[in-house]
Structure 1
Amino acid sequence: MTQFAQTLRDWRQSRRFSQLDLSLEADVSARHISFLETGRAQPSRDMIRRLGDAMDLPLTARNTLLTHAGFAPRFPARAWEDADMAPIRAAISHTLQVHAPYPALALDASWRILQLN
């Protein structure tokens, strides 16, 4: 079994999709999903996009599927401190300020506190 096949199966099972459910959501045959999970078929970039959309995967998981299938990552990862994130930080800061006096905090995907009021 390839790395892509195992990753796809793990995500499908964690999202509680059967192969049939996933095939209906992604608009492909259940047989093709089975072939992807056993490594008998290789996915295209478009197929990985459709599977990611069907399972509502986070962008990091989609990048992982892409790299495991031999493609370059499509979604750039940025650190919280990057200059490109300044508008996001400003929006979150504003949201926390207007939420005062009630406590609020902003967390990342690993449950680390990024900002709080």
Structure 2
Amino acid sequence: MEDQVLHQTDTAPRDATPQDSVEQISPSVGHPGATTFPTLLQNLRNARGWSKADLAKRAAFDPSTITRLEQGSRAPERETVTQLADAMALPMTDRDRLLAASGYRSDTWDDPDLIEIATLLADPSLPPAVRREIRTMLRVAASHGKLHRMYPHQTPADT
């Protein structure tokens, strides 16, 4: 897939399969195979032990709305997806997966640093060797962040 810069109102291309759009976001443990919005929504709701009525009440929707969303007979608006994610207090990874499964991208991509990196990597004049170096540095930075998440009370000076 080509590198490209997306904006808040952009959606995943309609010719992309749901699996394509979900794979761009780190999958969350516990929901294997949940790639379509209806399936993912139902799995996330069931993981909490909630009925459709429970989710509807917490998200301020009519229970029939949840039924239609889980049956796939109604395509969700972005605001609907974020309202559902908020009601379930989803961690960012699950929130992003739910957005991607419904054809929307994460708010994460509005970060100016990420936009700058994406723009740089999408620049066709950038030599491939430089592109590889940047990607290597990004992997190192991501690993550093993951370690900090695992050991939040240690600062770099502590190690």
With the shorter chain as reference, the TM-score category is 0.5 to 0.7
Q: Aligned partners of 1:15, 1:56: CA distance in 2, in Å?
A: 10
Question: 2:142 is paired with a residue of what secondary structure?
Answer: coil
**% identical equivalent positions:** 30
Q: 1:70 aligns with which of 95, 103, 112?
A: 103
Q: TM-score, normalised by structure 2?
A: 0.50
1:16 is aligned to: 49
Q: Contact 1:23–1:29 (CA<8 Å) still a contact in 2?
A: yes
1:79 match: 142
| Inter-partner Cα distance in structure 2 for 1:16 and 1:107 | 31
CA apart distance, 1:113: 4.7
1:17 CA drift (Å) = 1.0
Cross-structure match for 1:32: 65
107 and 10 in structure 1: CA distance in 2 versus 1, 3 angstrom threshold: farther
* Cα distance in 1 for residues equivalent to 2:142 and 2:153: 14
How many residues are treated as equivalent by the alignment? Answer: 91
Look up the match of 2:135: none
Unpaired runs of at least 5, structure 2: 1-34, 115-140
| Maintained 8 Å contact 1:59/1:75 | no
- How far apart in 2 are the matches of 1:23 and 1:8? 12
- TM (norm. structure 1) is 0.66
Give the RMSD, CA atoms, in angstroms.
Answer: 2.8
**Higher RCO by CA contacts (8 Å cutoff, separation 6 or greater):** 2
Structure 1 unaligned blocks of 5 or more: 83-105
Letter in 2 for 1:41: R
More strand by proportion, 1 or 2? Answer: 1
Distance 1:114 1:25 in 2: 31
Residue aligning to 1:41: 74
Given residue 95 of structure 2, which amino acid in structure 1 is its aligned partner?
A: R
Q: Cα gap change, 1:79/1:48 in structure 2, threshold over 3 Å: closer, same or farther?
A: same
Cα distance, 1:107 vs structure 2:
6.8
